[in-house]
């Protein structure tokens, strides 16, 4: 914690009274100008006024201290607290993940074991989200329907948790790529144009929904949304059967449409045939859309001008009231009453 002033230039007024005494001419005294006070002798007897008397030394000191306190209060003294780091908003990044029925196919390798496509996507996307410090991240899950699972937020941990809890088939068995893009564009529309990014992961072709993917991409391009499409899944999948291991086609991924979507929006298309390739895709996305490195912080400030202001007011009152004469007048009145 430290003391500072919001308007430090006001402190330059501190020597103003001394400069005015030295530089300004004294007012000419005019004997003809006078104020007749018929009860002046009574004030002299009470000790409340002395003609030609100078103010007591303590009053001059009080006036000086009051002026200093008043100038300090006008400079707005503040007590600064410890620095607080503020989250710097970088990109507005929407993650659209396909959870249609085909995402359960186990043709991905993760940590040396065979896992489903959705399991690999969840694990690697969570790591990707963790690195996006400063980005506002949202989550869309889509199958036959597209749903906003998490709006744009700085809470990346919650977004990763919601993605980890997603279940295949929850949004239907089919794939509505166009609807997912349309929903993302709607959510990104209010964000700064240069920061609107959509990452779309799917393993199939558009088989449902009311919006054609290419028309949705045209809309995204008009709104300044860059779309990075990722085709997930291997070319072939190994299945365990009673007769041994059998290789079957990995899916019906529509790479042509995904490339067109990325091209229309100045994005890129990536092919992730296994978890290692998917991790490389995320690393490349970090390079293409880097995290903002700006650091912004502030120190909370508590205003304390009221303390010197109260001191100046108190000293002004004390300097203006003739305490000694008033006390003698009170003592004389009390003595007369007893007499």
DSSP, collapsed to helix, strand or coil, labels residue 272 as: strand
User: Both ends of the chain: CA-CA distance in Å?
Assistant: 62
Higher-confidence position of 28 and 175:
175
Give the 3-state secondary structure percentages of the chain, helix then strand then coil, rounded to 5. Answer: 45, 20, 35
The domains of the chain, with CATH numbers, are 2-20+40-82+300-338 (no CATH), 88-288 (3.40.50.410)
Averaged confidence pLDDT in the chain? 80
Tokens, residue 187: 């959510």
- Does residue 311 have a pLDDT over 60? yes
Angstrom CA distances, 173 to 168, 244, 310, stand at 8, 28, 73
Confidence band, pLDDT 50/70/90 cuts, at residue 265? very high
- Does residue 238 have a pLDDT over 60? no
Integer Cα distance of 109 and 169 in angstroms:
22
Mean pLDDT lowest among 16-25, 116-125, 141-150, 151-160: 16-25
Dihedral sign, Cα of residue 46, residue 48, residue 54, residue 59: positive
List the one residue out of 93, 102, 203 whose CA is nearest residue 159: 93
What pLDDT, on a 0 to 100 scale, did the predictor assign at position 234?
A: 65
What pLDDT, on a 0 to 100 scale, did the predictor assign at position 332?
A: 57
DSSP assignment of 149-208: EEEEES-HHHHHHHHHT--TTTT-SS--HHHHHHHHHHHHTTS-GGGEEEEEEESS---S
What pLDDT, on a 0 to 100 scale, did the predictor assign at position 108?
A: 81
Higher-confidence position of 74 and 332:
74
Tokens, residue 192: 């700064």
Contact 257, 203 (CB under 8 A): no
The percentage of the chain sitting over the pLDDT mark of 70, rounded to a whole number, equals: 76
- Does residue 43 have a pLDDT over 80? no
Higher-confidence position of 185 and 286:
185
Higher-confidence position of 235 and 328:
235
Mean pLDDT lowest among 64-73, 167-176, 214-223, 322-331: 322-331
Integer Cα distance of 174 and 158 in angstroms:
27
What pLDDT, on a 0 to 100 scale, did the predictor assign at position 181?
A: 96
The model carries a pTM of 0.59
CA-derived radius of gyration, the chain: 39
Tokens, residue 68: 């200093």
């Amino acid at each position: 914690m430290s003391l500072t002033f919001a308007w430090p230039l006001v402190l330059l007024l501190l020597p103003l009274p001394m400069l005015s005494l030295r530089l300004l001419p004294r007012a000419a005294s005019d004997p003809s100008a006078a104020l007749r006070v018929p009860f002046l002798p009574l004030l002299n007897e009470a000790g409340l006024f002395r003609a030609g008397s100078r103010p007591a030394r303590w009053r001059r000191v009080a006036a000086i201290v009051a002026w200093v306190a008043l100038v300090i209060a006008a400079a707005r003294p503040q007590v600064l607290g410890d620095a607080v780091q503020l989250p710097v908003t970088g990109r507005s990044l929407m993650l659209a993940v396909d959870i249609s029925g085909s995402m359960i196919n186990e043709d991905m390798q993760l940590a040396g074991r065979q896992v489903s496509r959705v399991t690999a996507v969840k694990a690697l996307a969570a790591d990707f989200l963790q690195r996006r410090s400063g980005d506002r991240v949202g989550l869309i899950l889509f199958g036959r329907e597209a749903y906003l699972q998490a709006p744009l937020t700085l809470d990346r941990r919650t977004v990763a948790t919601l993605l980890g809890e997603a279940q295949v088939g929850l949004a239907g068995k089919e794939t509505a790529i166009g609807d997912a893009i349309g929903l993302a564009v709607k959510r990104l529309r209010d964000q700064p144009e240069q920061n609107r990014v959509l990452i779309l992961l799917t393993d199939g072709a558009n088989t449902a929904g009311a919006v054609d993917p290419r028309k949705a991409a045209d809309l995204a391009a008009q709104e300044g949304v860059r779309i990075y499409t990722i085709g997930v899944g291997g070319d072939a999948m190994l299945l365990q059967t009673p007769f041994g291991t059998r290789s079957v086609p990995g899916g019906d991924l529509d790479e042509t449409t995904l490339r067109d979507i990325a091209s229309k929006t100045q994005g890129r298309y990536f092919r992730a045939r296994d978890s290692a390739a998917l991790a490389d895709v995320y690393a490349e996305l970090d390079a293409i859309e880097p995290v903002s490195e700006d650091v912004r912080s502030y120190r909370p400030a508590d205003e304390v001008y009221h303390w010197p202001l109260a001191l100046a007011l108190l000293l002004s009152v004390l300097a203006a009231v003739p305490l000694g004469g008033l006390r003698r007048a009170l003592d004389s009145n009390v003595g007369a009453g007893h007499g």
